[in-house]
Structure 1
């Protein structure tokens, strides 16, 4: 199945661009947000440690699935479906 992943503020995470990174990932059926994080860690080593402590999101960071925070879903165990959008959100303020 395919899911769309958007990484906002990639420079914050140590990636070499200021532009939003948009990826289409091909994942196995029944994949979870945790599986997305594993794939992203392969592509961008160190991203996981800048976003997570163990299985928990570092405070002020967030991961959304279809516009909903995984805090209100099943965390990294949140199941994904074909066409879902996963967004990686750095801390922000205004």
Structure 2
């Protein structure tokens, strides 16, 4: 299945880019948000620790699947399906 991952505020997460970072991954059926986070951690070492403490999202950060927080789904165990969009969201400022 094909899943799109968007990292908003990549500079906040320690990535060199300023614009949204987008990746498209071909994942096996049954893959979860946790699997995506693990894959991103391999690409960008330290990223996991910038959004999670253990298995919990750091307050004011979020991970969305199709615009919905995984905190209202099954957390990192949220299963993905073909065409889903996973978004890493840093704290919003104003």
- Whether these two folds match at TM > 0.5 is yes
TM, length-normalised to structure 2:
0.98
Show the counterpart of 2:68: 68
TM, length-normalised to structure 1:
0.98
> Cα offset for 1:26?
1.1
Show the counterpart of 1:77: 77
Alignment of 1:1-40 (within 5 A): 1-40=1-40
Runs of 4+ in 1 over 6 A off after TM superposition: none
Unpaired segments of 5 or more residues in structure 1? none
CA distance in 2, matches of 1:70, 1:26: 20
Unpaired segments of 5 or more residues in structure 2? none
Aligned length: 94
> Cα offset for 1:93?
2.3
SS across alignment from 1:22: strand
> Cα offset for 1:12?
0.3
> Cα offset for 1:17?
0.8
CA distance in 2, matches of 1:40, 1:14: 12
